[in-house]
Structure 1
Amino acid sequence: MSDRMIKKVWNDSLDDEEGSSGAVVSTFQHVHTERLFLRKPENQDVTDILRIHGNPATNRYNPHGPMTNNDEAAERLNDWQKSWANDGFGYWSIFAAEGSEIIGFGGISRIFWVGREALNLYYRFDNGSWGRGYATEIARTAVQLAAEHLPDLPVIARINPANSPSIKVAAKVGLRLNPMASNNDYAVYTIRW
């Protein structure tokens, strides 16, 4: 992993004696990239989940549309926290390194897609943070960590075919269109499939 991409990975919760799953948990919990701080979602993030996922601009290509209420945001947070509890990794809450407000959510989470276990690459940012390369930075970090710590699982990005900005991000971090994994709703980009 490039020192430039990931400045510091905090191994603050588990020591080496806890085995490889402990190493994955501690590696993924708190990550600093060149310009971002990524951490495991916390209960107080529910307001930001609704703010970002409820914004019509950030859901332009989402086939399900924006979130509409706190209950949906709480359910999403609960799902993300279950991923962390079960797998030791999942989607992060994302902060600009110099800021204290969440600007997005993203990372990788274990899913089953077309009968196969995979890591879903996901990123969604507040539209005030668009155009700064943050999606590429988070995606590159997630793909690099997956390659290092979860090399047996392919990484996939399920993208609305009209969402050219997300397609460009996936391509920049090495994912390629996989027609065999795609369907009517999503063009699926993969690596290690």
Structure 2
Amino acid sequence: METMLETARLLLNQPTPGDIDAMFRILSDRRTTRFNPSDALQWNEEADGLFQRWEAQWENHGVGYFAVRLPGREEPIGFAGVKHVSLSGRPVLNLYYRFDPAVWHRGYGREAVGAVVVHINEFLELPPVLALVHPDNAASIRIVTSLGFERHAAAAISGPDGYQDAYVLNWDRQL
């Protein structure tokens, strides 16, 4: 059964193979991966593989990344959702979102991420959620803190994209 979320201005649904071109367009734009360059796609074939991994998240866990659309518009304006990861051996959900720069500064990111957070809190009964955010990414910090995430210094990481602060929600819960 496909999960569909609706907000005041957006529709969120599981990505389909028809969304692969939009995945490539958005994730190959260096502006969208400025703070996470390891997420940048270089070839369209990478988007195919990424779609397969996103689809596996849905099949294996019942949650994943959503394609975010404006009503009446076929092409996604972005993607937002969660995936299961392990942080120091602890299972958590990692929050993810990327939007077409053409729609930045309109509140769509916060609106979509807010819908995802409400959905997973209801579906999985307040699971621990992690958002890794580069300290210079003020827009992402505003989004996650406006949704109740709190900075958690002990969960911060240094990885392929350098140092990232950890913002957490429902951290005292178990997945």
Task: State the Cα distance separating 1:153 from its structure 2 match.
Answer: 2.1
Task: State the Cα distance separating 1:161 from its structure 2 match.
Answer: 1.5
AA paired with 2:4? H
Provide the residue aligned with 1:16 in structure 2.
Answer: none
Provide the residue aligned with 2:84 in structure 1.
Answer: 110
CA distance in 1, matches of 2:68, 2:32: 15
2:60 to 60, 67, 86: 86
Task: State the Cα distance separating 1:50 from its structure 2 match.
Answer: 0.5
TM-score, normalization by structure 2: 0.90
SS at match of 2:77: strand
2:47 aligned with 1:69: no
SS at match of 1:106: strand
Task: State the Cα distance separating 1:42 from its structure 2 match.
Answer: 0.7
SS at match of 1:35: coil
Larger radius of gyration: 1
2:109 aligned with 1:162: no
AA paired with 1:174? G
Task: State the Cα distance separating 1:46 from its structure 2 match.
Answer: 1.0
Moved over 6 A (4+): none
CA distance in 1, matches of 2:121, 2:86: 18
Alignment of 1:137-176 (within 5 A): 137-176=111-150
Kept in 1, the 8 Å contact 2:155–2:166? The answer is yes
Provide the residue aligned with 2:11 in structure 1.
Answer: 37
Q: Percent identity?
A: 33
Task: State the Cα distance separating 1:63 from its structure 2 match.
Answer: 3.6
Kept in 2, the 8 Å contact 1:154–1:191? The answer is yes
2:104 aligned with 1:100: no
Unaligned runs of 5+ in 2: none
CA distance in 2, matches of 1:151, 1:69: 38
SS at match of 1:73: helix
Residue deviations 1:105-160, cap 9 Å, x none?
01122211222111111110000010010111111111111221212520111111
CA distance in 1, matches of 2:127, 2:121: 8
Provide the residue aligned with 1:130 in structure 2.
Answer: 104
Higher relative contact order (CA 8 A, sep 6+): 2
2:31 aligned with 1:57: yes
SS at match of 1:180: helix
Kept in 2, the 8 Å contact 1:56–1:65? The answer is no
1:188 to 161, 166, 173: 166
Task: State the Cα distance separating 1:172 from its structure 2 match.
Answer: 0.5
SS at match of 2:31: helix
RMSD between aligned residues: 1.3
AA paired with 1:180? A
